[in-house]
Amino acid sequence: MSAVMPMATGTGVNYTALAVLVFLFLMVSGLGFWASRWRKAESMESLDEWGLGGRTFGTWITWFLLGGDLYTAYTFVALPALVFGVGALGFFAVPYTIVVYPLVFLAAPRLWSVAHRHGYVTPADFVRGRHGSATLALAIAGTGIVATMPYIALQLVGIEAVLKTARHGSSEGFTTEIAALRLAEQHGIAAPRILGLDEHDVRDVVERLRASGGGYEIVHSSPGIELGVYVLVAPEPDHQSAHDDDELYVVLGGRGELTIEGETIPLAEGQSAFVPAGASHRFTGYEGLSVLVVFARQHETASLEERSAKPYPV
């Protein structure tokens, strides 16, 4: 599935966030150039240089690398989204880490010793040297690549959130929900399920609203977030106007166009569009369109009862 995340123009630049981003980027780049002068690589054609930093990482650097392995986008984005979706089951990562890391340190020193002695760089190298099987080594390498893909996708989601915050201002209270939906779309997971909703219940709401000629129904409301299902059936027009809160649309079925501040975005099933607070927007060019609406409720100017009574998102 693909996703479209349009942003309205003229929302301003968060200069503080942008300045911090530029400063850190320049600092890390400068450290990289300084490090290249500090220790010249013997050969850039060696995988040791690309994968292991020339095998020169000491205890101090390794300590921080292990810390970075724990406190990643997986920790701060994926796990909160999982807990939000399934509840306490998501806390498995806490005891999992506590139990697994001591076990890893029991085997890791011996693994390091053997790998260092024979010049192994990857687990596939170790398996091939240990068992003498190129097929098994290829399977290990392939498994590692496939298992890494979700983490790479998550890093890209995090980078996207940082850049959008720097460009358009704070997305406080909404970044995790957007990241969860984007990651779900990239891996073919139903958007309602990642947010803790039963997919069949959402489908029932869609069918009920479609049978009544369209409308809007709130399916979940809690402090800071509101989820609703919005169904539009032609020729009834979209009557909604600009909202006081950030909003995310995920297309559940059908196709149409969303115009945000004069920019028209075509949308189809599985695609999404982000509308910042205060941006005028309206759906057009649809026959039958159903969308999941996610609000980051920071400014509740109307009560839940008043919002529920409207046939369109308020």
Mean pLDDT of the chain: 77
Question: What is the DSSP code string of 239-282?
Answer: -----SS-EEEEEEEEEEEEEETTEEEEEETT-EEEE-TT--EE
Calpha distance 57→29 (Å, rounded): 19
Most confident by average pLDDT, 27-41, 93-107, 109-123? 109-123
Share of the chain above pLDDT 90, in %: 11
User: Poorest-confidence range of 22-36, 74-88, 179-193, 223-237?
Assistant: 179-193
Mean pLDDT value of segment 155-183: 57
Superfamily (CATH) of domain 197-308: Jelly Rolls (2.60.120.10)
10 Å Cβ neighbour count for 9? 11
Nearest to 293 by CA among 311, 78, 170: 311
**The token pair that represents 229 in the structure block:** 């299902």
10 Å Cβ neighbour count for 227? 21
Calpha distance 299→66 (Å, rounded): 40
Task: Extract long-range pairs of 225-228: CB within 8 Å, 24+ residues apart.
Answer: 225/173, 225/177, 225/294, 225/295, 225/296, 225/297, 226/293, 226/294, 226/295, 226/297, 226/307, 227/195, 227/197, 227/292, 227/293, 227/294, 227/295, 228/292, 228/293, 228/295, 228/313
Nearest to 21 by CA among 192, 167, 134: 167
Share of the chain above pLDDT 70, in %: 79
Phi, psi of 77 (to 5 degrees): -120, -55
| pLDDT on residue 10 | 41
The pTM of the full predicted model, rounded to 2 decimals, is 0.45
pLDDT in tens, 171-225: 444 444 454 455 444 434 344 444 455 555 778 888 889 888 888 998 888 777 8
Most confident by average pLDDT, 48-57, 95-104, 166-175? 95-104
Calpha distance 141→123 (Å, rounded): 7
Confidence class for position 26, pLDDT limits 50, 70, 90: very high
Please name the residue that has the structure tokens 């003229």.
Answer: 10
User: Poorest-confidence range of 88-92, 233-237, 296-300?
Assistant: 296-300
pLDDT in tens, 201-216: 778 888 889 888 888 9
Query: Would you kindly state where each structural domain of the chain is located, as residue ranges?
Result: 15-168, 197-308
| pLDDT on residue 222 | 76
Mean pLDDT value of segment 263-285: 88
| pLDDT on residue 5 | 42
Contacts of 39 (CB under 8 A, 6+ apart): 54, 56
